[in-house]
Structure 1
Amino acid sequence: MTATTSSPRTPLWWARTGARAWTCAPVPRDVRAFHAALPGYAPTPLTELPFLAAELGVGRVFVKDESSRLGLPAFKALGAFWAVHRVLAERARSGQETGPVTLVTATDGNHGRALARAARLRGQHAHVLVPEGVHPRAVEAIVAEQARVTEVPGPYDEAVRRAARAATAPDTVLVQDTAWPGYEQVPAWIVEGYTTLCAEIDEQLTAEGIAGPDLVAVPVGVGSLAQAVVTHYRGSATDSSPALLSVEPDSAACVLESLAAGKPVTVTTGGTSMAGLNCGTPSSLAWPSLHGGLDAAVAVSDAESARAANRLATLGVPSGPCGAAALAGVRTALTGAGGEERRRGLGLGDRSVVVLLSTEGPAANPYAEAAADR
């Protein structure tokens, strides 16, 4: 295992061997069927970008474009819709009141908006707490879904703590996309929902005559999407066992720092345009999967994410700072000083297939629009 710190020439990087031998249980098969039955469902595009393949020195590069998912500009709807479905089903099964409840969460934007949409469509209420620094237009988008919004004077982790307290009121349920000891069932449902994205990738690659990817790069906040990716590719549901790379802001690299330490740690976060990744503590539910199944982790700067978003835009893929982090991370991993060593460690060659998860469109993150305006 290796870990290096950032400098002008050395990326913030962690890697180890043996991750592809780690295994876990697969997700329930009914998750994909649930999403496929939703009004307006369609697989999001998997766009091949030959110019990027040439730039990165690999065989083929595909971008999973989540800029429009179930009418929202990010992948988060997959987890929120499935979790709300399971929450309400469990309440009905246990004989609890079937009247409207208030679904509570903390968010940097996309999860809260998705939860508010799911609540509105199911005739429920939503209370969304947002941390300091979330763009006013992101708040407005949540309010437009008829949710109550509370702005918290503190970072994301403080908003999560306050959401948990708010959800102790009668007729409320916490639907949070991060977990901690004692709160893991609902986050597990959210993770299950995200795996539909990976199932679509498998089908889309198969249609291209490709057995599976050799590398998947995934942006990371608390690690729930990365957990879904690890679960899909390390579970028995698929024979593909690609290298898995997590990408975080260098100002909020809680997963990378935890992997380097060998245990979950909390980092002090700073401001970043990658607002949805600005998290200081890994999800306790995600941690075992991240620790066991990730091959490598890298942290990137806002400038690197912005350059990646601009490059994707020139190639016809709309992406916000969080989504573009995947490309920024792969660029950092495969190029520059030490790139050849990192490439060998990931098992990549000139015929390898790389999949980048672009988790949001520009509309999901107003900071992307502000950067473009400047």
Structure 2
Amino acid sequence: MSTFSMKMDIADNHFFTGEHSSLFSRQQAQQARQFHQKIAGYRPTPLYALNDLAALFGVHKILVKDESQRFGLNAFKMLGGSYAIAQLLCEKYQLDINALSFNTLKNSIKEKMTFATTTDGNHGRGVAWAAKQLGQNAVIYMPKGSAQERVDAILRLGAQCIVTDMNYDDTVRFTLQMAQKNGWEVVQDTAWEGYTKIPTWIMQGYATLADEAADQMSSLGIARPTHVLLQAGVGAMAGGVLGYLTNVYGAHELTSVIVEPDQADCIYRSGVKGDIVNVGGDMATIMAGLACGEPNPLGWEILRNCASHFVSCQDSVAALGMRVLGNPLGNDPAIISGESGAVGVGLLAAIHCHPDRDALMQKLGLDSHSVVLAISTEGDTDAKHYREVVWEGKHPAAR
């Protein structure tokens, strides 16, 4: 590969304590996974070993969890929405989630409900899917600039979908207002004062993918990853998955790198300061699923305590990851990874091609013994833009 420099601001976490949260343990993740296993069509998404790419990059293993193959929805997000909605209904009707499936839940609902949420695409699609499975209604709000393909995917699931003229965080506030006015249940993956129970369930639902990955690594003879790359929007997925991984492997034994677009790097800025920092404006990044400016306080607490590094990077890093995963080296499998899904591997590729490669590798503790786990959180959820990046070279690595 050529040598070129891309914008990657890497900050060490000076506020690391390694303190674990009991809310995001292996036990909690396995309860969520047991629920997901009872949904028709469940199967663990693949964990691919990119051995030829690992050899090129100078690490022992690169493992990529491919969430594009989750229930035909092309993204991981339904894990959180479906679990939270199930928990909400179990609480409402005094049911035991450990003894229930979606079918039994559906038969237990005595009155029609409407679930409302804000989404950049994947979370709303997951909520709409869960509502449809349960015979309920969903109203999904999306921020300005949302891709029509993502809107259409939600509409096909029978939900209402409204694109606002606001950014993501302002749309969240608008959704809350509309839900209060209409008596809807808000199923949002971020938290605020007085609203923490449902976001906690969502984050616990996300940890199903981490529990699967742990089993898959064990079956490959891999005792543990040395590194995990987690992308962050509000930090719900990153927090839920990191909470699980640190419970299983130990925060001090795992180098965890949280990656964000530089146009919406609220977690990075919070990591530098040691306290929550919000980012405003349009947050115009191709990583639509990460275009969030206000951290989830639940996720932020885990990331502050247990993340090793925070990274803010330009969009071209994600585009590079999309091309690398979609055009594999040697015998590695091809992975169709969208803008928000590919940024972790994009970071590895950008480091490999950087003039200061050795210093960056050393900073992150990457060497020939490293086992790196990355989560490809979505496939080509905006197929037109995917082709523009991978086929036409949009957002080039070097200018």
Normalising by structure 1, we get a TM-score of 0.92
Q: Counterpart in 1 of 2:175?
A: 163
The alignment status of 1:312 with 2:325, answered yes or no, reads yes
Q: 2:295 aligns with which of 279, 282, 299?
A: 282
Q: 2:19 aligns with which of 22, 27, 33?
A: 22
Alpha-carbon spacing, 1:335–1:256, altered in 2? closer, same or farther (3 Å): farther
Residue deviations 1:267-322 (CA, integer Å, cap 9, x gap): 13431111111111111121111111110111222222112101100121110011
The alignment status of 1:202 with 2:203, answered yes or no, reads no
Give the drift of 1:217: 0.5
Q: 1:131 aligns with which of 143, 155, 169?
A: 143
Give the alignment of 1:199-238 within 5 angstroms: 199-235=211-247, 237-238=248-249
Q: 2:305 aligns with which of 292, 298, 301?
A: 292
Rounded Cα–Cα distance in structure 2 between residues aligned with 1:9 and 1:306: 12
Q: Counterpart in 2 of 1:11?
A: 8
Give the drift of 1:149: 1.3
Q: 2:112 aligns with which of 75, 92, 100?
A: 100
Give the secondary-structure state (helix, strand or coil) at the position aligned to 2:62: strand
Alpha-carbon spacing, 1:79–1:352, altered in 2? closer, same or farther (3 Å): same
Which AA in structure 2 matches 1:349? D
Give the alignment of 1:1-374 within 5 angstroms: 11-16=8-13, 19=16, 21-25=18-22, 26=25, 27-28=27-28, 29-93=30-94, 98-235=110-247, 237-238=248-249, 241-268=253-280, 269-315=282-328, 316-332=334-350, 336-363=354-381, 366-372=384-390, 374=392
Rounded Cα–Cα distance in structure 2 between residues aligned with 1:171 and 1:9: 47
Moved more, 263-272 or 196-205: 263-272
Alpha-carbon spacing, 1:248–1:255, altered in 2? closer, same or farther (3 Å): same
Which AA in structure 1 matches 2:189? D
Normalising by structure 2, we get a TM-score of 0.86
Gaps of 5+ in 2: 96-107, 329-333, 393-399
Give the drift of 1:127: 0.4
- Number of residue equivalences: 366
Rounded Cα–Cα distance in structure 1 between residues aligned with 2:235 and 2:173: 18
Rounded Cα–Cα distance in structure 2 between residues aligned with 1:61 and 1:83: 31
Give the secondary-structure state (helix, strand or coil) at the position aligned to 2:256: strand
Rounded Cα–Cα distance in structure 1 between residues aligned with 2:17 and 2:373: 17
Rounded Cα–Cα distance in structure 2 between residues aligned with 1:348 and 1:118: 40
Gaps of 5+ in 1: 1-7
Which AA in structure 2 matches 1:133? G
Give the drift of 1:239: 5.5
Q: Does the CA contact (< 8 Å) of 2:13 and 2:310 recur in 1? A: no
Alpha-carbon spacing, 1:213–1:362, altered in 2? closer, same or farther (3 Å): same
Supply the RMSD in Å over aligned alpha carbons. 2.2
Give the drift of 1:367: 2.7
Q: Does the CA contact (< 8 Å) of 1:130 and 1:159 recur in 2? A: yes
Q: Does the CA contact (< 8 Å) of 1:79 and 1:190 recur in 2? A: yes
Percent identity over the alignment is 34
Give the drift of 1:371: 3.2
